[in-house]
Amino acid sequence: MIQTSLEITPFQNEPFTDFSDEANAAAFRAALAEVEASFPVVVRSWIDGEDGEGGSGTFESIDPSQTSRVVANSAKCSRDDAVRAIVGASKAFADWSRKSPEQRAEYLFQAARLMRLRKHRFSAMMVYEVGKSWAEADGDTAEAIDFMEFYAREALRYGRPQPVTPHPVEKNELVYIPLGVGAVIPPWNFPLAILVGMTTAALVAGNTVVLKPSSDSPGIASMFVDLMKEVGIPPGVLQFVPGSGGEVGNTIVEHPLIRFISFTGSAEVGMGIYEKAGQVVEGQMWLKRVVAEMGGKDFMFIDEDADLDAAAQAVHAAAFGFQGQKCSACSRLILHEKIHDAFLEKFLPLVEATTLGHPSDPKVFLGGMINEAARRKALDGISKAKEEGNELVAGGEVGPEGGWFLQPTVFTGVKRGDHIFREELFAPVLAVHKVASFEEGIEAANDTVYGLTGSYFGRDEERIETAKRELYCGNLYINRKCTGALVGVHPFGGFNLSGTDSKAGGRDYLLLFLQAKSISRLK
């Protein structure tokens, strides 16, 4: 029986590891060696509390920075497996939904404690399975811990008496109740943090979850599922069904017992899910909710009075951190013409000095892209940029042999109608666009179908206030990079085709997995 915490302290973000401390670096090297020795990891499905082989065979995840290495060999679930998981989750919902918020929160608190104790092993798996650097992987694990700690506290808050206007002859209550069975479909680029956040938010709100991890990162997903097994999550509450999007993903999106879909990924896939979820099929007695975060074409606008040294460092980190494979990554750099050349003089040497290689080496900044298809899409975008007359000033070529490497790439002379200004490549490719005025910079920044993150660098307070008001994105940063949102500090989610503005890690997020019930009784 899980024990309830006696005291709930205020939420605090998990600190990042200081790898300049040799003790921390040695501990991480040991975790890398331990994890590497376990390859290939065997990943099984987990349905109704039992491990399974999967009805459609197996598939592999590959180290993107050393493609000869198989990281995980995973069960590949079939449509029948997915349906069985949905039915089992529906049965488990009755008991799970009746547990108190305190009971459900304690599972998250215990999982967070265990992950904190083993954080380097989780991070090491991401170094190999998705190509994260030490710092990027450590940040991913810290964010996963934060999500569990934050959402557990949020569940307790929503479980308390809610304020309603008093009435002289009635006693009135507003209570929040769970929805039912949810489909959770996380991405590979934050394969622990986003997976954990999406899954545990739904669970702690009282729902049951059918989890389909990305086919590029089943190994780290299975580590989280093993953690939830260890803390004793009841059978059927969390169902784990690795498999293809076409077979498993479509099944869990379309099934009539599914009450909501939580998705993070591309706009194309997200729009397809939105369309499928809108169809009310036989046996379905609700409108499915869709919680979607679908990427972006994010900007950093460097104005004429900006601190160029700080801006150059920030753009480099935001554009090329984790190979540009973040929905928040800077892919459009908007420069005021008065500082255009001076900025590039400071920025391009940083790009040229970027280290490529296997991210198990702490000196490496850029690992391999997630797979060959992703690199091919980026190379196609680079080719189109050249065809449209954009000037290649850095990179543009593949990197070292043995992995899916791509050099950090910068194009100047990019116009607002050009391919690399408009299309999300999800790669270390940066489009530089020159503007003649502050007003033109605002227009250029907003000239996109997306609206996730953005950054404005400048010193003039009046312009800063205008930028805060006029720049249209879900997460706007002033005089800092456009990546690196912290749970509780920067609630995260975007506008337009960046998704439903779900604001993960914020005080509104759990409401997406709850429904409000008003109860009135005569005194």
Q: Which residues are CB-neighbours of 21 under 8 A, at least 6 positions away?
A: none
Distances, alpha carbon 58 to alpha carbons 72, 401, 438, in Å: 10, 27, 54
Element (H, E) at 35: helix 22-37
What 3-state DSSP class applies to 31? helix
CA distance 481 to 457: 9
What 3-state DSSP class applies to 344? helix
Catalytic-labelled residue, pool 129, 136, 154, 293: 293
Q: Which residues are CB-neighbours of 449 under 8 A, at least 6 positions away?
A: 267, 297, 422, 496, 497
CA distance 401 to 182: 42
User: Token match 């380097």: residue?
Assistant: 120
293 is catalytic: yes
Long-range contacts of 13-18 (CB under 8 A, 24+ apart): 13/142, 13/146, 13/486, 13/487, 13/488, 13/489, 14/116, 14/142, 14/143, 14/145, 14/146, 14/149, 15/142, 16/135, 16/138, 16/139, 16/142, 17/119, 17/120, 17/138
Q: Give the torsion sign (CA, 140, 371, 313, 490).
A: negative
**CA 145, 494, 222: angle at the middle one, nearest 5?**
35
Catalytic-labelled residue, pool 106, 149, 327, 330: 327
CA distance 403 to 68: 8
**Active site members:** 293, 327
